[in-house]
A = this chain, B = another copy of it.
Amino acid sequence: MQSVRTAVVGASGYSGQELLHYLARHPVFKLALVAAKSTAGQKLAQIVHGLPKDLAAMEIIDAAADYSLAQKAELFFLAVPHGMAAPYVVALREAGKMVVDLSADFRTTAPAVYKEFYDHDHPAPALLREAVYGIPEIHRDRLKSAKLIAAPGCFPTSIIVPLVPFLRYIQPSRIIVNSLSGASGAGRKVELRLLFGEITDNMYAYSVPKHRHLGEIEQELSLAAGEKVTITFTPHVVPMHRGMVSTIVADFERPLSSFPMTDSDVHQVLLEAYGSEPFVEVLPPGELPQARHVAHSNRIQVAARIDPRTNRLLLFSSLDNLGKGNASQAVQAANLACGLEEKLGLE
């Protein structure tokens, strides 16, 4: 198979490092360029361990230098902080390059939603229409012809995947989501709140009631439901590095008694939706997702239960917030966009 010259911009963070870990082993995407800010000048070996010698010796170039990097590769992964990706995307798309943006810059379709959640006008609204939201299990067909992929983060993936198959059965304004995130979800920022001494033996809810990623979550759920979906979303930080567990509670549209809907039925709904998906693990009835079971992988575990006492649906998911919740899912989406086998480099 012909190799694809691949660039990573933004390699200093946890997402960038994880991405390099996957790309270093990818049989088609060949690293041609790695650019970063705080690790510029270092060898790749210093930020990703266990690489083959040629990759280990590659020098990280300065991401801020210039945008002429467009000439050096065909496929660009952007793992820069939110708000920093747009100028790269504009330049790279003008040069006709394929871009997978791991930031939030192109995830909201409507400029107004972007402004509501990010407090300023979108810097390149024309490109929003072109961007495809990068969950392959939801947007596989569109991803196959995508040139700009807006790779989602861990919260949206962990919520959208289990919920979408059930949107027809539940009330769109009665969905309560609680997500628990390992600290790597906040990135590798040098901030007091991210010190070991502040995270270990600690946990807390934060960014309520309107976390920045709420906009894209409701956008995708509404799109799938064909009607406006509104959720209450509470993210929490827990004392571990990688991993996410989401717990979703939703009111069924009709009384379970008249329906009827059993634990076996809701399991069946998941099986029908995802039974043939290579990276969605539908758990057998009685089992619930665990963060450990999907660590260092591109898999997401999902499970469904009913609560007959309250006529509610309970959904559960777990994923690695650096894997299926971020870097490896970006590779999965890029595989599709490049016409490759979807699982390439991910097993």
**Is B202 a contact of A291 with CB atoms below 8 Å?**
yes
Looking at A124-132, A136-144, A312-320, A330-338, the stretch in contact with chain B turns out to be A312-320
Chain B contacts for A295, CB-based, 8 A:
201
A208, CB-defined interface residue at 8 Å: yes
A198 within 8 Å of B by Cβ? yes
Closest Cβ–Cβ distance, residue A4 to chain B (whole Å): 21
Give the oligomeric copy count: 4
Cross-chain contact B241 with A238 (CB below 8 angstroms): no
Nearest Cβ on chain B to A266's Cβ, whole angstroms: 12
B202 with A240: CB separation less than 8 A? yes
A305 CB within 8 Å of chain B: yes
Q: Once the chains bind, are A294 and B240 in contact (CB under 8 Å)?
A: no
- Are A195 and B188 in contact (CB-based, < 8 A)? yes
- Asked if A219 CB lies within 8 Å of chain B CBs, one says no
For window 197-225 of A, CB contacts with B under 8 Å fall at 197-206, 208-210
Give A167 Cβ to nearest chain B Cβ, in Å.
Answer: 17
Q: Output the least CB separation between A318 and chain B (Å).
A: 7
Among A298-324, those with CB < 8 Å from B are 299, 305-310, 312, 314, 316, 318
- Interface flag for A100 (CB, 8 Å): no
- Nearest CB on B from A221, distance (A): 14
With both beta carbons as reference points, the residue of chain B lying nearest to A251 in the complex is identified as B174
B190, B199, B231, B239: the one contacting A192 at CB < 8 Å is B190
Contact B241 A240 (CB under 8 A): no
Which chain B positions have C-beta within 8 A of A149? none
Q: Which residues of chain B come closer than 8 Å to A208, judged between CB atoms?
A: 288, 305, 307, 314, 316
Contact check, B209 vs A234: say whether CB atoms are below 8 A apart.
no
**Are the C-beta atoms of B294 and A205 separated by less than 8 Å?**
no
- A232 partner, pick from B50, B199, B249, B292, beta carbons under 8 A: B249
Chain B hits for A173, CB < 8 A? 310
Cβ A245 vs Cβ B236 within 8 A: yes
**Which of B204, B232, B309 sits near A291, CB closer than 8 Å?**
B204
Given A197-B183, A197-B184, the answer on whether A290 and B232 have CB atoms closer than 8 Å is no
- CB of A94 within 8 Å of the partner chain: no
Q: Is the CB of B230 within 8 A of A310?
A: yes
Task: Decide: A297 near B209, CB < 8 A? Known: A204-B288, A290-B202.
Answer: no
The smallest beta-carbon distance between A311 and chain B, in angstroms, is: 9
In the assembly, what is the distance between CA of A281 and CA of B53, in Å?
11
Inter-chain CA distance A245–B247, complex, in Å, is 15
Residue A14, interface by CB 8 Å:
yes
Task: Judge if A40 is at the interface, Cβ distance under 8 Å.
Answer: no
Indicate if the CB atoms of A299 and B200 lie closer than 8 Å: no
Tell me the residues in window 149-205 of chain A with beta carbons closer than 8 Å to chain B beta carbons: 173, 176, 178, 180, 183-184, 188, 190-192, 194-205
A-B pairs with lowest CB-CB distance, top 7? A209-B307, A202-B292, A196-B199, A178-B178, A204-B290, A49-B293, A176-B176
Chain A residues proximal to chain B, CB less than 8 Å: 14, 49-50, 173, 176, 178, 180, 183-184, 188, 190-192, 194-206, 208-210, 230-232, 234, 236, 238-243, 245, 247, 249, 281, 288-297, 299, 305-310, 312, 314, 316, 318
